[in-house]
Amino acid sequence: MLASAVLITGVAGSGIPAHALDPAPGVSDLIHDIDQILSDSRLTMARAGVVVRNATTGEELYTLDSGKLFAPASNTKLLTSAAAMETLGADYRFSTEVLSKGRDLYLRGTGDPTMLAADYDALAAKVAASGVKVVTGRLVVDDTWFDDVRLGTDWTWDDEPYYYAGQISALTASPDTDYDAGSVVVSVAPGDGPGKPAKVTTTPDTDYVKIVNKAVTGDDTDVLVERQHGGNTVVITGTVAEQYDEWVAVWEPSLYAASLFRKGLAAHGVRVIGSTVREATPSGAKTLATRESMPLSQLLTPFMKLSNNMHAEILTKAMGRKVSGEGTWSAGLAVTTAFARANGVGTLRLRDGSGLSRVDGLTPSGITSLLIAAKGKPWFPAWYDSLPIAGQADRLVGGTLRSRMRGTPAAGNVHAKTGSLTSVTALSGYVTSADGEPLVFSILTNGYLSGAPRDLEDRIAVRLAQFTRSAPVDAAAGTLRAETPAETPQGDDLECSWRKPVEC
């Protein structure tokens, strides 16, 4: 599975490197070292694709299976986020409105993932301030900006209760400023004594989910929090010795948002007599209150640093709505695909915007072409800054790389997107060499049976940070070798940001 060190002009996708004849010693050493890293026994039965290129000229320094399709996991978000910046614009904002017509009150959304319970309360306060005291009709939820397909194609059934696979709707709510749209935090704490019932609370405080508490206070914490399929009953079992938090995806986020808004109306003295229903807002309705989100350029930070799946899917549908008037996955993915092909990504297959689908396919060559093309875009600085940065402890700076490559030349240098699913790991992004040469790289690995071999990705990234075209020859080893990076957590197949409450 190693790239041949024979210095010939290669064939795209063949596994043969496309290096110029007689490369500088530093390039030859780089090829040798990456080959050595990829000789790890964990990859014997796996597939790995690796491309390293100069970020300015596009020159290939290393290539292995560059044109073959790999499951990219969350590396898909590189395409989605770049397409969103190009299509929607850095200043794009989601809006949420409250309108009235006749006896009814309408809550209309466009997919804002940053809406918190406090934001729905603020909208309710504006309604009250407008003079509304009683709504004699219904509270109408208008989520028609998007279609009503809530879950992505190919998403697995056992992911459905978890917040990283939350349902997608034009009206939704998040429990915190990570903006995990369509979820609620269920907190389980010790009760009044051993064997006594645990104490359960939710964030936000809501009765939209029904809690069935079977957990008790014990000497250790071993809690299972499960939302039952097809509804919002959450069953809690096990023992708890210290507080345990679980982020749970709700069933039907539009009605979840409506319940928070209705609660806010009541708190501000507005009585709604009728029921909550889902319909489109009629023409001629009067706007009573509006709330706009932060611009997309700012939303990129929690989206990319924390690898937020829901942001990717919401933006995908938002692109479809803008370009074709259809807030659907198919319309949005058509936009992303067209953008990708216009920016050097020739071969790809997209089924969602986040990479949660195992049918998504990207090539290492295509990803590096995108990374090079992005450098010429006016939105590039904000997009580049949104990528996780190796070894930076702040979770909204280092993101999913905050615990990786610490104490190495890659720390604070590598800006890259991670990707993880069972038997899938990926790392693609930017690094500056020891000579100050800007490089792009993509490492996609599929089909391993061990724990995720992310340490190999880290060793390659560190080696690239050490790269120099005029590397001195080590008399003992014969060439410059990559330093061993700081310890990288192994054995987990999910993005670290998906394993709440554990941080990256």
Rounded distance between C-alpha atoms, residue 286 and residue 283, angstroms: 9
- In DSSP terms, which residues pair with 185 in a beta bridge? 203, 247
Indicate the burial class of 125 (C-beta count within 10 angstroms; 0-12, 13-18, 19 or more): middle
Residue 458 burial (CB count, 10 A): 28
Rounded distance between C-alpha atoms, residue 89 and residue 298, angstroms: 12
Nearest Cα to 386, choosing from 164, 95, 77, 107?
77
β-pairing, 134-135 with 104-109? unpaired
Looking at residue 20, the DSSP 8-state letter turns out to be P
Is 130 in contact with 288 (CB distance < 8 Å)?
yes
Is 170 in contact with 146 (CB distance < 8 Å)?
yes
- In DSSP terms, which residues pair with 51 in a beta bridge? 63, 442
**Angle (nearest 5°) at CA 352 between 281 and 452:** 140
217's enclosing H/E stretch is: strand 216-217
Per the rule left: phi > 0, alpha: psi between -120 and 50, beta: everything else, 66 is alpha
Task: Dig out the tokens for 10 from the structure.
Answer: 């290669």
Rounded distance between C-alpha atoms, residue 98 and residue 113, angstroms: 17
Is 171 in contact with 254 (CB distance < 8 Å)?
yes
Is 344 in contact with 372 (CB distance < 8 Å)?
yes
Is 73 in contact with 447 (CB distance < 8 Å)?
no
The catalytic residue positions are 74, 77, 307
Nearest Cα to 73, choosing from 408, 450, 427, 413?
427
**Angle (nearest 5°) at CA 164 between 423 and 298:** 115
Task: Dig out the tokens for 153 from the structure.
Answer: 């194609």
The helix/strand count (H/E) of the chain reads as: 10, 21
